[in-house]
Amino acid sequence: MTRIRIQAVSKQFGPTLAVDKVDLEVSSGELFFLLGPSGCGKTTLLRMLAGFVQPDAGQIFFGEQQVTNLPARARDAGMVFQTYALWPHLTVTDNVAYGLKIRGLKRADIAGRVERALKLVRLEGLGTRKPNQLSGGQQQRVALARALVIEPRVFLLDEPLSNLDARLRDEMREEIRRLHKETGLTMVYVTHDQKEALTLADRLAVMHSGRIVQVGRPQEVYNLPVNRFVAGFLGDSNFFAGTVREIRDGDAVVETGLGPLSAARVNSGLAQGMKVYCSIRPHAFAIRPAADSVNAFDARIEQVTYLGEQLRIRAVAAGQALELASVPQLAGSLQAGENVTLGVPADQVIILPDTN
């Protein structure tokens, strides 16, 4: 159980600043996610934790130990690589036993621990195979077992599910959740898949251009994004540019292209006349709301797509395209070309600063 502290860490590759003065703390036993689009610096940050990349500035601590200048081999940070990096010339058992041999364990101990590790990832009986005789999911499990068996201080996962198909990905997601529960390890998990992050993370950090934009629990970050980038990256959202018209007892009214929108949640520091964005999630819209509802406006349905568990609707209101989600029961009653009234509860309108 090890806490990770990252203090003012920076890394530059040529002209690009890959990681820009990042401060971060991961509590012990936490399943922590680094989330961001490709090129945001999340993998570089993870590789700095593993010791493959030396930060230009800043410090990294595992627990109380400063590891910034420790070589990768001395860090005790088990890592699962995006491509699994299983050694093709070694069997599954030899792959998993590798770290234990380095640690000088007795042969019998190694055999026992390898067996337990393979059992933990449900690969009993496949120890004599070579990696290329395994399916993608099985290879993934070997990679997990290989990193787990050394009982690392921290566990690092670099987009571990990106090479798997959708069904396997769901399965392995549950597997990782279970492994985290059973081992209680401090895990740092890098991904660009917001669904993975939202479903698994204890806490997550959203990264953009080498910086951490927001850190928090999944619900906090999803429901209260700090800016347009986070709102757009975590789930879909509709954005409406506008100006704050008035603020009273925690409510705000923003003048937008759709007309005035009332928002129940107000960030401190909001002032009248400020340029802002209103963010509304697709499922926040009520279609044909009660007559007295707030934030009601007219829209024309452009397209209705049935997705099984939900309906996706494209609509246009005041010249702006909208993305809506709805329960599938409405499927029969909505036609493309139809004009409907839409409403948004005030607490579903999120005001974001216009930082750009």
Binding site for another protein (CB under 8 A): 13, 50-52, 71-79, 81-83, 85-89, 98-99, 102-103, 132, 146-147, 150
Q: Report the nearest approach of another protein to the CB of residue 320 (Å).
A: 39
Which tokens in the block code for residue 205? 């950090």
For another protein, the closer of residues 103 and 217 by Cβ is 103
Buried-exposed string 338-347: b where 16+ CB fall within 10 A, e elsewhere: eebebbbbbe
Q: Report the nearest approach of another protein to the CB of residue 60 (Å).
A: 15
Q: Report the nearest approach of another protein to the CB of residue 38 (Å).
A: 13
Measured from the Cβ of residue 316, the count of other Cβ atoms closer than 10 Å reads 12
Q: Report the nearest approach of another protein to the CB of residue 310 (Å).
A: 35
Q: Report the nearest approach of another protein to the CB of residue 52 (Å).
A: 6
Q: Report the nearest approach of another protein to the CB of residue 77 (Å).
A: 7
Residue tagged 């609509």 (tokens)? 315
Residue tagged 């610096």 (tokens)? 41
Q: Report the nearest approach of another protein to the CB of residue 125 (Å).
A: 23
For another protein, the closer of residues 103 and 275 by Cβ is 103
For another protein, the closer of residues 111 and 334 by Cβ is 111
For another protein, the closer of residues 128 and 303 by Cβ is 128
Do the bridges between strand 77-80 and strand 154-158 make them parallel or antiparallel, or are there none, so unpaired?
Answer: parallel
Q: Report the nearest approach of another protein to the CB of residue 50 (Å).
A: 6
Q: Report the nearest approach of another protein to the CB of residue 122 (Å).
A: 21
Taken in order 20, 238, 330, 319, is the CA torsion positive or negative? negative
Taken in order 219, 213, 185, 178, is the CA torsion positive or negative? positive
For another protein, the closer of residues 100 and 213 by Cβ is 100
Taken in order 61, 65, 67, 73, is the CA torsion positive or negative? negative
For another protein, the closer of residues 157 and 206 by Cβ is 157
For another protein, the closer of residues 13 and 306 by Cβ is 13
For another protein, the closer of residues 147 and 252 by Cβ is 147
Beta bridge partners of 342: 287, 297
For another protein, the closer of residues 83 and 333 by Cβ is 83
Q: Report the nearest approach of another protein to the CB of residue 319 (Å).
A: 42
For another protein, the closer of residues 98 and 297 by Cβ is 98
